[in-house]
C-alpha cells in the first residue's frame, strides 16, 4: 500500500522524534489514514515486536486487518475470548488489544501481565486523547518498564483540555496534520455548515459534567417532542435525497427521531444504539450502504470505527462542548468517494476531482437555540485548530447569519485573511505615525513583526514545555530574547531561522535593520549585507537609489 505524502512525512517525523524522545504524538484527522500510518511504523520497526491498544472492538479488528495488509505480518488479537500468543517461541510480532482487556483481571495486574514488556519495541495507542485516563496511564507505565520501548499516540482533533494533558503523557508532537490541512490538500471533501434555529430549544439550564453537557439534562431537552419534530422537519428539507447520519443525545431520541422520519416517508430511517443486536446493526448498516435506508439515527455507536464514504450529511442532534467528539461525528462524512483522490498527483487536481464527483462536499447540520453560558462546538472549531480564535469567531458569526450552507474552510480562510489585512493596515498606520513624529525606536523589537510572521496559535500540549537551553541559546545568538517567548513561539521562530539558513536568506539581525528602513526581508544574505553597507556609508539614511539597481553598490 502506497502512503500519501503527508503519511510518509509523519512516519519519518516519528522516527526523528524517537531519536531524542521515548514517546511522541501524531495528530491526523478522521479519514486521514492513521491506521495506515502506524502500520507503516510497525513495518519499519520489524523485527521488534509491536503492541497496539484501542478502546473499541471495531477499532481492534480494523487495525488488525489493515496492519496485515500493509505489513504482511500476522497480527493477533488479545480481547475477550481472543488470545494472542505471548509465549517465548512463536509469539506474534504484532498484538492488537483493547485497553479494557489489558486491565481486566481480579489480581490487579490485568491480562497485560501475561506479556513481557521487555519483548516489545513499540507501543501504539490509537485514539490517544484517551491516554490521559488512569487506566491508560497504568498500562503505559507497565510497558515502559522496558527502557528501550518507544511509544506512539495517534489521534484526530483533540479537545483544548486534552491537549495540555497529552503533553504530560507524550514528550513531543511529531506531526500535526488537521482537517483543514487535509481539505486544502484535496484528501478530504470540503465541509459545509448549516445552522438551523429551533424555536424553544434551550440548553442554558443544562449542567456541565466532565467538561461536556450533562447526559441526563441534555436528553431531557432533546427528547422533547416539539424539538424533535422541528429538527426532523428541517432535516428532511435540507438533506433532499442525500444519505445522512444523525447523532442523538439518547437512545430514546434516536428511536423517536427515526419514527418521525418514517412518518414522512415509510422505511426511510432506522436507528441503532450500543445494545442493538450485532446482526441487526450489521443489517441496518448494510441497508444504509445499499441505499435502502436514507437516514440512520444513532446514539453513541457510530462515532468511531464506522467508515462509509457515501455519507453526505451529518445531523447533529447531540450538541457537545467536546471538540474531539464533534470531530469524530463530522469525520463520518469527510471521506471522498472511493477512487476519487487516488489517481491525481497534486492538491489542485484532487480538489477538482472531488468537485466533479458525486460527493463534492459534506454537510453538517447544527441546531441553534439558547446556549446560555455553554460554548458549543461547531465545524469552525474543528477546522480552526491552527487558525486564530478571532478568525473562528468571525467565520462562525457569518455562518449563523447566512441562513443556508456555508463552506467553512473558505469562510475561515477569508476571515483569517481579513483579520491579517486589518492588522497589517493598523501596523502600517502605527509605523507612519512613528516616522512622522520622529519617535521610531528599535527597543523591544517584536521578532514576529520583523519576520512578517503571525504567532502560531498555542496548543495545549506545548503549555507544559519550556525551551531548552540549546534553543534559548540559538535564539539569543540571533538577537531574539527567549524570555519573552512561549514554547510554541520559540519553536516557530527557530523554524523560520532554519528556513532562512537553508534558503541562504538574510538573518534576523539583518532583517531587523532592513525592516526599520522600509526594505523587504525576503532577500539573500549577500543582498542584505550590501544594502546595510550602503546604508552605513550613507550615514544610516536611506539612499535615493532603489534596492536592486545596478548602480546600488
Same-domain check for residues 172 and 214 = no
pLDDT of res. 383: 87
| Residues 343-356, mean pLDDT to the nearest whole number | 95
pLDDT band for position 190 (cuts 50, 70, 90): very high
Does residue 291 surpass a pLDDT of 90? yes
Question: In this predicted model, what pLDDT tens digit does every residue of 47-61 receive, in sequence order?
Answer: 999 999 988 887 888
Averaged over 187-203, what is the pLDDT?
A: 93
91-96: Cβ within 8 A, 24+ apart: 91/49, 91/119, 93/46, 93/47, 93/49, 93/50, 94/42, 94/49, 94/50, 94/51, 94/52, 94/67, 95/49, 95/50, 95/51, 95/52, 96/51, 96/52, 96/54, 96/60, 96/63, 96/64, 96/67
430 in any annotated domain: no
Decide if 32 is inside a domain. yes
CA distance 303 to 8: 27
Q: What is the pLDDT of residue 263?
A: 93
One domain, residues 153 and 251: no
- End of a domain among 378, 400, 415? 415
The per-residue pLDDT for 108 is 57
The segment with the largest mean pLDDT, out of 139-148, 375-384, 476-485, is 139-148
Query: What band does 219 get if pLDDT is binned at 50, 70 and 90?
Result: very high
- Give residue 208's pLDDT: 93
Residue 392 located in a structural domain:
yes
Contact 41/11 with Cβ under 8 angstroms? yes
Residue 250 has pLDDT above 90, yes or no: yes
pLDDT at position 452: 81
On whether residue 195 sits in a domain, the answer given is yes
Say yes or no: 51 and 101 in one domain.
yes
pLDDT of 551 over the 50 cut: no
Among 400, 415, 430, identify where a domain stops: 415
* Least confident span in 118-132, 349-363, 393-407, 490-504: 393-407
- Residue 431, Cβ neighbours under 10 Å: how many? 15
Q: Is residue 527 part of a domain?
A: yes
pLDDT at 434: 53
Q: Are residues 196 and 172 in the same domain?
A: no
Average pLDDT on 239-247 reads 96
Q: Average the pLDDT over each of 39-48, 71-80, 97-106, 304-313 and give the range with the smallest value.
A: 97-106
Choosing from 147, 177, 207, the residue where a domain stops is: 177
Residue 267 inside a domain? The answer is yes
Number of domains composing the chain? 3
Residue 388 and residue 453 in one domain: no
Domain range for 213 is 191-415
> How big is the CA angle at 480 (ends 479 and 483), to the nearest 5 degrees?
135
pLDDT exceeds cutoff 60 at 162: yes
Q: What is the mean pLDDT of residues 338-354?
A: 94
Shared domain for 12 and 128, answered yes or no, is: yes
In a domain, 479, yes or no: yes
Mean model confidence pLDDT for the chain: 88
So what's the pLDDT on residue 193?
Answer: 94
**367: domain CATH number?**
3.40.50.300
Is there a single domain that holds both residue 209 and residue 164? no
pLDDT for residue 323 is more than 50: yes
Residue 116 and residue 229 share a domain: no
Q: Do 74 and 35 belong together in one domain?
A: yes
In this structure, are 488 and 355 located in the same domain? no
Residue 440 confidence (pLDDT) above 50: no
* 311 backbone dihedrals φ, ψ, rounded to 5°: -70, 125
CB 66 within 8 A of CB 3: no
Domain annotation covers residue 429: no
Kindly report which listed range (132-141, 300-309, 433-442, 520-529) carries the lowest average pLDDT score: 433-442
pLDDT band at residue 432, thresholds of 50, 70 and 90?
Answer: low
Reply yes or no on whether the pLDDT at 372 is more than 60. yes
Structural contact between residues 394 and 418, judged by C-beta atoms closer than 8 angstroms: yes
Res. 442 pLDDT band, cuts 50 70 90: very low
Per-residue CA distances from 51 to 85, 179, 297, 343 (Å) = 12, 27, 34, 33
| Same domain as 147, residue 272 | no
Domain co-membership, 339 together with 470: no
Amino acid at each position: 500500500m502506497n502512503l500519501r505524502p503527508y503519511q510518509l512525512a509523519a512516519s519519518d517525523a516519528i522516527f526523528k522524534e524517537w531519536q531524542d524522545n521515548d514517546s511522541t504524538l501524531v495528530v491526523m484527522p478522521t479519514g486521514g489514514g492513521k491506521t495506515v500510518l502506524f502500520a507503516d511504523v510497525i513495518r519499519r520497526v520489524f523485527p521488534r515486536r509491536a503492541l497496539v491498544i484501542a478502546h473499541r472492538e471495531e477499532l481492534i479488528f480494523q487495525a488488525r486487518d489493515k496492519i496485515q495488509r500493509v505489513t504482511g505480518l500476522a497480527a493477533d488479537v488479545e480481547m475477550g475470548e481472543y488470545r494472542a500468543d505471548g509465549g517465548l517461541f512463536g509469539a506474534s510480532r504484532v498484538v492488537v488489544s483493547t485497553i479494557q482487556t489489558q486491565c481486566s483481571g481480579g489480581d490487579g495486574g490485568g491480562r497485560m501481565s501475561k506479556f513481557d514488556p521487555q519483548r516489545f519495541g513499540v507501543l501504539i495507542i490509537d485514539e490517544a486523547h484517551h491516554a490521559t485516563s488512569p487506566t491508560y496511564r497504568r498500562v503505559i507505565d507497565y510497558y515502559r518498564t522496558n527502557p528501550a520501548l518507544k511509544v506512539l499516540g495517534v489521534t484526530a482533533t483533540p479537545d483544548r483540555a486534552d491537549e495540555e494533558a497529552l503533553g504530560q503523557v507524550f514528550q513531543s508532537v511529531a506531526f500535526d496534520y488537521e482537517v483543514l490541512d487535509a481539505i486544502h490538500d484535496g484528501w478530504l471533501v470540503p465541509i459545509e455548515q448549516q445552522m438551523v434555529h429551533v424555536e424553544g430549544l434551550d440548553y442554558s439550564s443544562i449542567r456541565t459534567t466532565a467538561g461536556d453537557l450533562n447526559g441526563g439534562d441534555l436528553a431531557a431537552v432533546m427528547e422533547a417532542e416539539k424539538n424533535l419534530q422541528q429538527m426532523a422537519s428541517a432535516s428532511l428539507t435540507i438533506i433532499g435525497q442525500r444519505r445522512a447520519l444523525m447523532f442523538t443525545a439518547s437512545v430514546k431520541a434516536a428511536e423517536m427521531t427515526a419514527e418521525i422520519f418514517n412518518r414522512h416517508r415509510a422505511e426511510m430511517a432506522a436507528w441503532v444504539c450500543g445494545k442493538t443486536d450485532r446482526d441487526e446493526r450489521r443489517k441496518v448498516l448494510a441497508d444504509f450502504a445499499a441505499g435502502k435506508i436514507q437516514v440512520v439515527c444513532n446514539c453513541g455507536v457510530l462515532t468511531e470505527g464506522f467508515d462509509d464514504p457515501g455519507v453526505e450529511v451529518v445531523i447533529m442532534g447531540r450538541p457537545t462542548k467536546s471538540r474531539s467528539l464533534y470531530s469524530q461525528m463530522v469525520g463520518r462524512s469527510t471521506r471522498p468517494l472511493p477512487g476519487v483522490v487516488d489517481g491525481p498527483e497534486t492538491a489542485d487536481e484532487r480538489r477538482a476531482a472531488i468537485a466533479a464527483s458525486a460527493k463534492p462536499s459534506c454537510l453538517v447540520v447544527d441546531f441553534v437555540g439558547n446556549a446560555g453560558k455553554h460554548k458549543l462546538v461547531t465545524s469552525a472549531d474543528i477546522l480552526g485548530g491552527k487558525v486564530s480564535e478571532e478568525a473562528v469567531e468571525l467565520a462562525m458569526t457569518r455562518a449563523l447569519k447566512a441562513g443556508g450552507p456555508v463552506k467553512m474552510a473558505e469562510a475561515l480562510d477569508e476571515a483569517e485573511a481579513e483579520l491579517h489585512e486589518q492588522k497589517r493596515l493598523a501596523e502600517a498606520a502605527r509605523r507612519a505615525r512613528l516616522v512622522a513624529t520622529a519617535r521610531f525606536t528599535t527597543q523591544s523589537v517584536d521578532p514576529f513583526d520583523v519576520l512578517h510572521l503571525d504567532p502560531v496559535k498555542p496548543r495545549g500540549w506545548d503549555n507544559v514545555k519550556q525551551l531548552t537551553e540549546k534553543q534559548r541559546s540559538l535564539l539569543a545568538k540571533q538577537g531574539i530574547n527567549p524570555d519573552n517567548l512561549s514554547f510554541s513561539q520559540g519553536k516557530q521562530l527557530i523554524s523560520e531561522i532554519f528556513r532562512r539558513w537553508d534558503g541562504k536568506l538574510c538573518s534576523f539581525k539583518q532583517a531587523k535593520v532592513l525592516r526599520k528602513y522600509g526594505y523587504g526581508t525576503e532577500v539573500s544574505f549577500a543582498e542584505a549585507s550590501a544594502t546595510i553597507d550602503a546604508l552605513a556609508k550613507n550615514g544610516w539614511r536611506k539612499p535615493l537609489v532603489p534596492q536592486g539597481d545596478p548602480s546600488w553598490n
